[in-house]
Amino acid sequence: MTDQRSQAEIVRQSLKRRYRKERRFRLYGIVAIFIALASLFILFADIIGKGHTGFVKTTITLDVTLDSETMYLDDPTDQDQIAMADFVAPIIAALQDHFPDAEGRAARRELGRLVGSYAASDIRDLIEANPDLLNTTQTMEFLAHDTVSVYVKHADDPSYSIRLSEQQQAWVDELLEKDVIDTSFNDVLFSRGDSREPGNAGILGAIVGSLFTMLVTLAISFPVGIAAAIYLEEFAPQNKITDFIEVNINNLAAVPSIIFGLLGLAVFIGLFGMPRSVPVVGGLVLALMTLPTIIISSRAAIKSVPPSIREAAEGIGASKMQVVLHHVVPLAMPGMLTGSIIGMAQALGETAPLLLIGMVAFIVDVPDGFFSSATVLPVQIYLWASSSEQGFVELASAGIMVLLAFMISMNALAIWLRKRLERRW
Amino acid sequence: MQTANLLPLILVLAVAAYGLAFMRSRAVAAPLGGIRNLKALPFYYAARAALWCAIPALIVLAAWAGFEGKVIQGMVISSLPQDVWPESPGQASLVLSQISNVAAGKLNPEFVPEHIAGAAGLLENLRAQSGTFKTILVLLIAALGAAFAWTRVAPHINARESVERTLRRIFFVCAAVAVLTTVGIVFSVIFETVRFFGKVPITEFLFGTSWSPQTALRADQVGAEGAFGIIPLFTGTLLISAIALLVAVPIGLLSAIYLSEYASKRVRSTVKPLLEMLAGVPTVVYGFFAALTVAPFIRDMAELVGLEASSQSALAAGLVMGIMIIPFVSSLSDDVINAVPQTLRDGSLALGATQSETMKNVIFPAALPGIIGGILLAASRAIGETMIVVMAAGLAANLTANPLDSVTTVTVQIATLLVGDQEFDSAKTLSAFALGMMLFIVTLLLNVVALKIVRKYREQYD
Amino acid sequence: MSVNETISSAAEQREASVPVQDVAVEKKREDMPVQEGKTVGLPYADDPKFKLRNVEVFYGDDRAIKDISLDIARNEVISFIGPSGCGKSTFLRCLNRMNDSIDICRVKGQLMLDDEDIYHSKRDVVELRARVGMVFQKPNPFPKSIYDNVAYGPRIHGLANRKSDLDEIVENSLRKAGLWDEVKDRLDATATGMSGGQQQRLCIARAIAVSPEVILMDEPCSALDPIATAKVEELISEMSESYTIVIVTHSMQQAARVSHRTAYFHLGHLVEVNETSKVFTSPEHELTESYITGRFG
């Protein structure tokens, strides 16, 4: 008894020190979680901070007099005349209405640089389509030049450099006051393909490219993945071949994605002679890449169907295949769908293998099929992020926001499906 | 006809075969007294007809589509006059692209030599012929398969068995795709790698300390002057991966421990999905973050304390990569820690150990093999990560251990060597495949070892 | 399979396969008066080690232990018996607060160890558990060496200043657990390589090594074969000289062999506590009688 008493005393004395250690250990855990969550927060805040201006475009609204004399254009139906005509002149003239003192070649040139380089073709397209508009005055909205756009959106941001002359800045300030220069929702972003000019570039081409690519990926990886999972769970005999397949799947799940790009380059493009830069090849490569994810999650879903269901069906004389197709697969479907959606979300964000199969090309047109040259959303972000033009940074961030929105909604769908359809046995 | 258009056509034929066989099986059964006298349900006769119609046709179509391009190219090249035959594969591809550009109407035939224009005509001709043959052959096979299955609709034949056998085989083939993929990966890197080692000795590749494939561009001296020493790439990869693991392992492990041992259910159910969000963010986003936010920040900070940092520092790439693999480490550790039986925890707690003592002395040692396996998997992921380093680590192959310097990695080099126009057969292009091979072997080894450890660990407590 | 397991699994099978009878039993149980908070026999003692009054345990909204009052005397061996799910393990785990790790578990009532409240908000669990050790159903040696297993407790509590002290504690504990002669040559071997019976005795040695005042045993023999069981039971009898021992068991024979008093639990109630011989020869309560005569498991 005395022994026990003195031991208890020793224990009591050690407690303070041990609890201090306990608290410190717990604190380490909290700090670790805090760092991880803070990184997530900073990442999102950074991207939103950089990208929210990407959803805003800067426009200049002018009353343009489509004077045939200033444009050197008498007959808009004559292609030669259209090709030679000066469509910038009416814009400069309209700007000069606001600034009568801007005289001379230099001033005119500076004025002309307030609007984007596509402004002239806007006028040309208008006149080509409606020749009667010649010699009338139209109110037209032009995209501002990128330097103007940067000045309007980021004048206070030191990470942007303002490339407008003093004079131009004064003009822009005045036009802003008069509401001639205005900012509004950037519909261009969602209605066009890539462009050399940030103001004119959009992600529609990349979104459509991603869509085509994902359709190919889904069409291949979903059925093949589920069939493979069914085989491995239900039919595979216990032998070396099965083991080999399983080891292969587990390893493929951890092979770096860029290796799949090498595979696509050597096999699909090199061996089969498929074209570069097309959604079909991208989709095939991503399908092979997501296959292990889908197989692994589908197997887990099949495993979770209780044996009693199988036994019940077998008990009334259903064949193994009937048991699987009529009972097991329908019951495992929610789990399989969830896994597939998560796999597709991964594939949607994948960039590296697509670089190797040529989906990094500069493509202006929105792709119109599985075999037309295309790029995808993450690659478009990569291209913009590595561009030296400063206006592309906000577009890249805006693209990231769109990409993340897609991925979050896919994951939310997966969670919803799981909650809604999953059965607990 | 285009392959894409043939696919729905085959589908239509298969559906038709299904319908016909279904009706026939009912017709066969009717005089016998109903479908109960058939060996299988009408559905199975019909399904068999559809399978026999579609599968052979699809196989032929796939084979044709896979190889028609190459065969036609070969025929076009060999049709060229002897004196202009291309001397190297590189030249051949140049000539071929010229020919196909003419054929596609992108290049005016007047601007090219006569034999090219002629070949373009031939190309178009061959393509049209191939399309016609393909269509006829595929449709014929589909019709034959369906017809054969139709004649085999008989009461004594068990169609169910044959359908099920076929399905099982299809399932097997699908499972074997994983093996085919691995084989494909190995073959796609191995040939080019062997050719590369024909130009650059393997010892120079493995032990050379300088990497500058660009200089190899000089004419007639392919490979002779270019430096293809992989050491700086390996050290660069290791440096960045080590930084990443230094960030991810403590943070991931400690968060996993906190979440599994201390956190209340509510905290766990909010923090865990948030951590997993980190894993779901695409790598290109991390690359963007590393290149445009973290790297400049580190450069400014270094300047503040008087250090010189490259604008594309290994530290930036490594830090961000570390953030990326935190959830990877934490979820693997979480699994492993939870797999330690509760009885061990109880045993330690019942002796009066505090939670942290239990964790440090009992659970952690018991979970260590599994945790090491998880860290190896994380390392393999760090080594194979591409986008972050492509965007933030730079291209300079410096042999350095200074994290503020710019380094390059194996994946960066693969990506940059193979993006854009490549010359066929130059050591520069081939070296990318050799690097790919190295990367594949290293990550494969890491994965095999890690999976083995993890599996062994699981068995211990199952 | 051990004798105990045979009994319990046979009982479970009976319940599962003959539902009609089960309903009948169920009905009979209801007929019998189990008054809440009322325990027949000798639940109280003078100068008890544990003084437990009106104890209630909740799992979420389920009341697993219903108003139990009991004294546990110094240096006595008391057995808790009763059908599966009657709450005996839950009650046992209250005595050194092992239920704390279950989030939804709440304990009410007065639980005193040497007149100190076990569940006092300032009460230190670590100190409590150093005084009230526990041995579990399944042997749970740490995946370390035999020596490290036994030395673990003294190390964390800082009971030994020198290596020689520690060696002494380990040897004494292993001797007390009757394991010394079997393992003295392989103290560095890993504990998981031992047989089940040895593992369980090692766990007992591990518990003894911190010199607790009380040892709680939760079905310590249910995973052991009859020979190992006999050794552990022998050990329990020897230990009763220096420790207070509370043992939960499925085996009535075991309770009869090792314990001074036996407590019968039923659906969260403490029905009867008495001298062991009395409980098994002339139980006062109908339910106890039904149980020991094997009418339900």
Question: Can you give the residue ranges of every domain in chain C?
Answer: 3-23+34-117+124-292
Chain C contact set for A10 (CB, 8 A): 157-159
pLDDT (mean) for A59-84: 83
Which of A350-359, B92-101, C192-201 is predicted least confidently? B92-101
In 3D space, the residue among C60, C44, C51 whose CA is nearest the CA of residue C109 turns out to be C51
**Residue among B343, B346, B352 minimizing CB distance to C153:** B352
Residue of B343, B336, B298, B290 lying closest to B317 (CA atoms): B290
Nearest alpha-carbon partner for C34 in C294, C272, C262, C261 = C272
Q: How far apart are CA B169 and CA B113, in angstroms?
A: 52
Cβ of C126 and A18 within 8 Å? yes
Nearest CA-CA partner of C267 in C64, C69, C106: C64
Instruction: Provide the residue type at C140 as one letter.
Output: N
Contact in structure between A147 and A117 (CB atoms under 8 Å): no
CB contact (8 A) between residue B447 and residue A351: no
Spatial contact of A119 and A143, defined as CB atoms under 8 Å apart? yes
Q: Which of A1, A3, A7, A16 to mutate to test the interface with C (most CBs of C within 10 A)?
A: A7
Chain B partners of A381 at a C-beta cutoff of 8 Å? 284-285, 288
Residue C18 in this model has a pLDDT that exceeds 60: no
Predicted local confidence at residue B457, as pLDDT: 77
Other Cβ atoms within 10 Å of A300 Cβ, number:
15
Interface test with A, best of C157, C210, C213 (most A CBs within 10 A): C157
Q: CB-based contacts of C5: which residues, under 8 Å, 6+ apart?
A: C222
Q: Start-end ranges of CATH 1.10.3720.10 in chain A?
A: 204-421
pLDDT beyond 80 at C26: no
Interface membership of C130 toward A (CB under 8 Å): yes
Domain boundaries, chain B: 3-157, 227-461
CA angle A284, A287, A293 (to 5 degrees): 165
Q: Measured between alpha carbons, how far apart are the two ends of chain A, in Å?
A: 53
Sign of the four-CA dihedral A28, A33, A34, A38 = positive
**Contact assignment for C159 to A4 by CB distance below 8 Å:** no
> Is the predicted pLDDT of residue A342 greater than 50, yes or no?
yes
What is the spatial distance between Cα C87 and Cα C83, in angstroms, rounded to a whole number?
Answer: 9
Q: Do B283 and A21 touch (CB under 8 A)?
A: no
CA of B276 vs chain C CAs: smallest distance (Å): 24
Q: What is the DSSP string of A18-60?
A: HHHHHHHHHHHHHHHHHHHHHHHHHHHHHHHHHHGGGGEEEEE
**Residues of chain B found within 8 Å of residue C98, distances taken between Cβ atoms:** 346, 349-350
Reading the block at residue C85, the tokens are: 């799910």
Residue C212 in contact with partner chain A when CB distance is under 8 A: yes
Q: Is C227 on the interface with A (CB under 8 A)?
A: no
Q: What DSSP designation does A144 have?
A: B
Contacts of C153 in chain B (CB under 8 A): 351-353
By percentage, how much of chain A surpasses pLDDT 90?
Answer: 34
3-state secondary structure of A181: strand
Question: Could you name the CATH architecture of B227-461?
Answer: Orthogonal Bundle (1.10)
In one-letter notation, the amino acid at residue B271 is: V
Mutate which of C95, C134, C140 to test chain B, going by most B C-beta atoms within 10 A? Answer: C140
What single-letter DSSP state applies at residue A115?
B
Residue A317, exposed/middle/buried by CB under 10 A (0-12, 13-18, 19+)? exposed
Q: What is the full per-residue pLDDT of chain B (462 aa) written as tens digits?
A: 566 678 888 899 999 999 998 888 888 888 887 777 777 888 888 898 999 999 999 999 888 887 787 788 788 878 877 777 776 666 777 777 777 777 777 777 777 777 777 888 888 888 888 888 888 999 999 999 988 888 888 878 888 888 899 999 999 999 999 889 999 999 888 988 998 888 888 888 888 888 887 644 445 544 445 788 889 999 999 999 999 999 999 999 999 999 998 988 899 889 998 998 898 899 999 999 999 999 999 999 998 988 887 888 899 999 999 999 999 999 989 988 988 888 899 999 998 899 899 999 999 988 998 899 999 999 999 999 999 999 988 787 888 888 888 889 999 999 988 886 666 667 788 889 999 999 999 999 998 898 888 888 777 665
Beta strands per DSSP E along B156-251: 211-212, 227-228
Task: Map tokens 């109280």 to a residue.
Answer: C44
Shortest CA distance to B381 belongs to which of B189, B183, B237? B237
Say if residues B182 and A251 touch (Cβ distance below 8 Å).
yes
Q: Are strands C77-81 and C105-113 parallel, antiparallel or unpaired?
A: unpaired
Size of interface A-B (CB pairs under 8 A): 273
Q: Which residues of A touch C (CB under 8 A)?
A: 3-4, 7-8, 10-12, 14-15, 18-19
DSSP B249-299: HHHHHHHHHIIIII--HHHHHHHHHHHHHHHHS-HHHHHHHIIIIIHHHHH
Helix, strand, or coil (residue A138):
strand
Which 3-state string (H, E, C) describes chain C? CCHHHHHHHHHHHHHHHCHHHHHHHHHHHHHCCCCCCCCEECCCCCCCCEEEEEEEEEECCEEEEEEEEEEECCCCEEEEECCCCCCHHHHHHHCCCHHHHCCCEEEEEEEEECCEECCCCCCCHHHHHHHEEEECCCCCCCCCEHHHHHHHHHHHHCCCCCHHHHHHHHHHHHHHCCCHHHHCCCCCCEHHHCCHHHHHHHHHHHHHCCCCCEEEEECCCCCCCHHHHHHHHHHHHHHCCCCEEEEECCCHHHHHHHCCEEEEEECCEEEEEEEHHHHHHCCCCHHHHHHHCCCCC
Taking a C-beta distance cutoff of 8 angstroms, is the pair A417, B296 a contact?
Answer: no
Q: Where are the alpha helices (DSSP H) in B30-153?
A: 42-79, 89-103, 114-151
Residue B347's closest chain C neighbor by CA?
Answer: C140
pLDDT of residue C29: 43
Return the pLDDT at C15: 39
Show which subunits contact B, needing at least 3 CB pairs below 8 angstroms: A, C
Residue A72 forms contact with B (CB below 8 Å) = no
Q: Which residues of C touch A7 (CB under 8 A)?
A: 130, 157, 159, 210-211
B386·A245 Cβ contact <8 A: no
Residues from chain C that touch A21, judged by Cβ atoms under 8 A, are none
Label residue A68 by pLDDT band (50, 70, 90): confident
Mean pLDDT computed over A405-424: 83
The answer, for A271 touching chain B at a CB cutoff of 8 Å, is yes
Beta bridge partners of A403: none
Question: CB distance from C167 to chain A under 8 Å?
Answer: no
**8 Å CB contact of A4 and C126:** no
Q: Which helix (H) or strand (E) holds A65?
A: strand A56-65
CB proximity B263 to C under 8 Å: no
Q: How far apart are CA B318 and CA B328, in angstroms?
A: 15
Phi-psi region at A18: left, alpha or beta (left = phi > 0; alpha = psi -120 to 50) = alpha
Contact B387 A224 (CB under 8 A): no
Q: Do A11 and C212 touch (CB under 8 A)?
A: no
Picking from A159-173, B53-67, B205-219, C154-168, which range would have the lowest pLDDT averaged per residue? B205-219
What is the pLDDT averaged over residues A58-76?
Answer: 84
pLDDT of residue C27: 42
At A4 the pLDDT is 66
Q: Which residues of B touch A405 (CB under 8 A)?
A: none
Alpha-carbon distance A390 to B129, whole Å?
A: 51
Q: Does C241 touch chain A (CB under 8 A)?
A: no
Give residue C19's pLDDT: 38
Give the per-residue pLDDT at B90: 65
Shortest alpha-carbon distance between residue B31 and chain C (Å): 50
Which one of A3, A14, A19 has the shortest CB-CB distance to C158?
A14
DSSP B311: S
What is the model's pLDDT at position C34? 66
Q: Which residues of A touch B77 (CB under 8 A)?
A: none
Distances (CA, A) of B452 to A251, B225, B369, C106: 11, 43, 10, 42
What residue of A is the nearest CA neighbor of B419?
Answer: A356
Instruction: Please answer yes or no on whether B175 and A231 come within 8 Å at the CB atom.
Output: yes
- Shortest CA distance to B440 belongs to which of B374, B380, B379, B372? B380
Tokens of B312: 């594309």
Q: Chains touching chain A at 3 or more Cβ pairs under 8 angstroms?
A: B, C
A14 closest CB neighbour out of C131, C157, C211? C157
Inter-residue contact B427 to B223 (CB < 8 Å):
yes
* Tokens encoding B148: 């054969």
pLDDT given at position C84: 83
Q: Say whether pLDDT at C11 is over 60.
A: no
User: Chain B closest CA to C273's CA: distance in Å?
Assistant: 26
Lowest mean pLDDT among A278-287, B66-75, C124-133: B66-75
Q: How far apart are CA A264 and CA A284, in angstroms?
A: 8
Using CB atoms, pick whichever of A247, A256, A403 lies closest to residue B282.
Answer: A403
pLDDT tens profile A1-50: 446 667 778 888 888 889 999 999 999 999 999 999 999 999 999 999 98
Residue A244 has its nearest CB partner, among B179, B292, B330, at B179
Nearest to A263 by CA among B106, C2, C201, B183: B183
Distance between CA atoms of residues B103 and B101, nearest Å: 5
CA distance B428 to B437: 15
Name the CATH topology of A204-421.
MetI-like fold (1.10.3720)
Q: Compute the nearest-CA separation of A381 from chain C (Å).
A: 46
> Contact C65/C39 with Cβ under 8 angstroms?
no
Phi/psi at A164 (nearest 5 deg)? Answer: -105, 145
Q: Assess B349–C contact: CB distance below 8 Å, yes or no.
A: yes
- Best mutation target among A14, A18, A39, A232 (most B Cβ atoms within 10 Å) is A39
In chain C, which among 89-128 make CB contacts under 8 A with chain B?
96, 98, 101, 103, 125-128
Extended strands (E) in A307-349 = none
For residue A414, the Cα-to-chain-centroid distance in whole angstroms is 19
Contact A142, A119 (CB under 8 A): yes
Q: Can you tell me the distance from the alpha carbon of B298 to that of B308, in angstroms, rounded to the nearest whole number?
A: 10
Q: What element of type H or E holds A280?
A: helix A279-303
Domain C3-23+34-117+124-292 is in which class? alpha beta
ipTM of the complex: 0.90
Q: Is C54 left (phi over 0), alpha (psi -120 to 50) or beta?
A: left
Q: In the structure, what pLDDT confidence band is assigned to residue A264 with cuts at 50, 70 and 90? A: very high
- Nearest by Cα to B69 from A269, A145, A129, A331: A269
Give the residue from B441, B445, B438, B440 showing the smallest Cα distance to B196.
Answer: B438
C202, C191 contact by CB (below 8 A): yes
The Cα of A14 is separated from the nearest Cα of chain B by a number of Å equal to 12
Residues C76 and C82: beta-carbon distance below 8 Å: no
